[in-house]
Amino acid sequence: MARKRNKTIITCAVTGAIHTPTMSDALPYTYDDIARQAIDAAEAGASILHLHARNNETGAPSVDPADFAPFLPRIKQATDAVVNISTGGSLTLSIQDRIRPAATFSAEMCSMNMGSMNFSFHPLAGRYDSWKFDWERDYVANSDGNIFRNTFRDIREAAETLAPHDIKFEHECYDVGHLYNLKFCMDSGLFKAPIFIQFVMGILGGIGADIDNLVFMKKTADKLFGDDYRWSVLAAGISQIPMATTASQMGGHVRVGLEDSLLISRGTLADSNAQQVAKIHRIVEELGSEVATPDEAREMLGLKGGDKVNF
């Protein structure tokens, strides 16, 4: 009897927000480009689409539901992929502002950041002489003075506000301590098993993107949550594809996309989100796993279904 192959969920983070300057023409920021690239990523094999919005005129990160409304219905009409709306938004916004799009549109999934941290990308400010938008250089350069706030009170407020919408959280854990924060919140009754954890690696201020750290994060999650969790890995920059490949071989799921890396290989910018998805899709299947369909992802993660969203 043939051995049943693992099913790997591919998430694509389509457009950046708090840490992705528009230094690549491939990064979408207009409504049309976000919709087109999201649909193309789904066709390339992404079963979950992690979405931010940007102001169409300034290119600045936006949590205004009016900046999500033009592209969400188009994505839903063209694909059955799961929509995951970010609650990260910006380093300078309150949790009330950041959760407004997820609550407005009652998405199937949304991100849930599990701890406050230094979240900096200021070294990028010295790498470029020209910028697409006037606000970008100062925003990037000054990120060394910001704290990405996600207090226990913020987490509770987000969880309780979004609970009536039956949204599945993608618990973004940037370091080992965030796993313990998540365990505390589960013990407090905020989140129910099975949970979905995204190990976020390679962000300045968080855990580094290397295999030893991934193994440690996985062992810690096993100790804390046993069989009550599913997990995925996103790694920033050039580590994106190698760490995703490793995660898929360890039984985890993967996240790629231009939010986390503008590259397709070392020194080469990606042409699109779909190019990154197609690359990890090929690697996952060549190494013996199968890529999960959107409906398989819904079943694996216990999602409410695309017919229960508000867009």
Give the percent of the chain with pLDDT over 90: 82
Q: What is the mean pLDDT of the chain?
A: 93
* Mean pLDDT (whole number) for 155-159: 97
User: What integer pLDDT is reported at residue 4 of this predicted model?
Assistant: 57
User: What integer pLDDT is reported at residue 17 of this predicted model?
Assistant: 67
* Bond before 194 cis per omega within 30 degrees: yes
Over the stretch 104-114, which tens digit does the pLDDT of each residue have? 999 999 999 99
The structural domains of the chain, with segments of one domain joined by +, span 7-118+147-306
User: What integer pLDDT is reported at residue 289 of this predicted model?
Assistant: 94
Give strand ranges (E) for the chain. Answer: 7-8, 10-13, 48-51, 53-54, 61-62, 82-85, 109-113, 117-118, 147-148, 168-173, 195-201, 229-235, 253-256, 263-265, 268-269, 290-291
Over the stretch 190-210, which tens digit does the pLDDT of each residue have? 999 999 999 999 999 999 999
Q: Identify the band that residue 1 occupies on the pLDDT scale cut at 50, 70 and 90.
A: very low
Domain 7-118+147-306 adopts which CATH fold? TIM Barrel (3.20.20)
| pTM for the whole structure | 0.94
